[in-house]
Structure 1
Amino acid sequence: MDVIEVLPGLRMLVLPVGAAYLWSDGRELTLVDSGAVGTEERVAELVESVPGGELARIVLTHWHEDHTGGAARLAARFGGVPVVAHRLEAPVIRGEAVGAPPVLEEFERPIRASVPALPPAPPCPVDVEVVDGDVLPFGGGARVLGVPGHTDGSLALHLPGPDLLFTGDAVANVGRAMLGVFNTDRARAVESLHRLAGVGAANAVFGHGTPLVGDAAAALRAAAAEY
């Protein structure tokens, strides 16, 4: 497995498309995003690599297949642990609704065409629905930030203790921090980028791209300044 120790308590599993993150509060573990269908075994190995660790929850930043494809099987494998998602994403993740497609900018069309198609995510129960301002019980209190635009119910997480931001796909860091691509509403996505830059977090991890440790605030402000 290609695993990166980002911070004490945080490991990133680099997947063929995107990444999954494992946060450790001692033996209590939180998985942020589950990877695509077919990556479940690799993600499970990451969870099981923590001696005495017990998975307490799976948090999904949004409904896209590369973030939710493994969630149903992983939740079942680890004893039916609760799956957490934004209230607006929950019906799509459960298979009760169809998520809105992206509105592609002209420059995004060749990028989209080059991305391999992923298997659809199997329906997955969502046990805990959250909205902006809610706090999840891990990492000393993970504050949910609603960051619509990539999808209607995209969420980010800010852990004030380690000053860590999980951006999901609202931001990418591929060569530099930038607005995520393939958005359903670009204007709202830009607003969400500005909101995340305003958090001023020192550290950030992304659905796609390299973590930023220590210098995330400046990088996100520079990205937001482009819009």
Structure 2
Amino acid sequence: MDTVEVAPGLHQVRLGTSTHLLNAYLALEDDGVTVIDTGAVGSAADIRAALRRLGRAPGDVRRIVLTHFHADHAGSAAEIAGWADAVVVAGEADAPYVRGERPGPGPVFTEAERRLHEVVAAGLPPAPPCRVDQPVSEGDVLDFAGGAEVLSVPGHTPGSIALWLPRHRVLVTGDTVAESEGGLVLGPFNTDRELAWHSLRRLSAYDAEIACVGHGNPVLREAAAALRAATDPFG
């Protein structure tokens, strides 16, 4: 686990392994920290360590944003939410799944995705239920990074969200987009592949310089062009 500053005040926390890189992001402000995605169960210790290396404390977390309900992104949300009086944010349609009110819908696998899922999801524990204080939808603006606009990007999950940070021309894509072998791809394991492609194409219309993806390495230059060139190796 290490941290990389991808934009002023925005740090990638590299979780997982070199072959299955999973990201959380920390947005540092004078008055606190926003955690974007929390990794799987057990990742809270790594996020705590990243905060301390950046000169912050667990009690500085004032907001947790979940791009979607999957266990590798929301698995440590409940634990981190207990560190401080943090507001937990999730897409409105995914909020019931984060809260544990009902099971979330499973992916519709292609054959290639099925084989991949057997490898990367082996032994992944379910996410404990976590409160959602602020369900969000298209056009809501969160008060960090100069104003983070919520984008509704359904397809990976019904309530997947992305964030547009216009001050730094950064897109935080969640799992709608992944990085693989230096290029961007449609993230695998979608509930609705066609809708996920539509959401990816929508993201490509933003004038983004940086794309912070859920899995793989962020794109740090000319992200809009990389999004337009995205492929689907799992289709």
TM class by shorter-chain length?
over 0.9
Aligned partners of 2:93 and 2:159 also within 8 Å: yes
Give the corresponding residue for 1:104. Answer: 109
Retained in 1: the 8 A contact 2:27–2:35? yes
2:4 matched residue in structure 1: 4
Over 6 Å off, 4+ runs: 224-227
> SS of the residue aligned with 1:110?
helix
Question: How far apart are 1:28 and its partner, in Å?
Answer: 2.1
Q: Normalising by structure 2, report the TM-score.
A: 0.92
**Structure 2 residue runs without a partner (length 5+):** none
2:204 to 176, 197, 200: 197
Name structure 1 gaps, 5 residues minimum.
none
Matched, 1:143 2:128: no
Structure 1 contact 172–209 (Cα < 8 Å) conserved:
yes
| Residues 107-162 of structure 1: CA deviation (Å, up to 9, x unaligned) | 21211111123111000000011001110000111000000000000000000000
**Whole-angstrom CA distance in 2 between matches of 1:66 and 1:112:** 12
Q: Is it true that 1:214 corresponds to 2:221 in the alignment?
A: yes
Identity within the alignment, %: 48
Q: Which moved more, 1:45-54 or 1:196-205?
A: 45-54
1:131 match: 137
Q: Residues 29 and 56 of structure 1 are in contact (CA less than 8 Å); yes or no, is this contact kept in structure 2?
A: yes
State the number of aligned residues: 226
1:3-58 residue CA offsets vs partner (Å, 9 max, x unmatched): 12212211111111511100112342110001110111111122233335621100
The alpha-carbon deviation at position 225 of structure 1 amounts to 10
Q: Tell me the equivalent position of 2:95.
A: 90
CA distance in 2, matches of 1:44, 1:158: 25
Contact (CA 8 Å) 1:193, 1:224: kept in 2 or not? Answer: no
Superposed displacement of residue 189, structure 1: 0.4
Counterpart of 1:56 in 2: which secondary structure? strand
Task: For 1:46-61, list aligned pairs within 5 A.
Answer: 46-51=50-55, 54-61=60-67
CA distance in 2, matches of 1:205, 1:9: 13
Distance 1:52 1:211, change over 3 A: closer
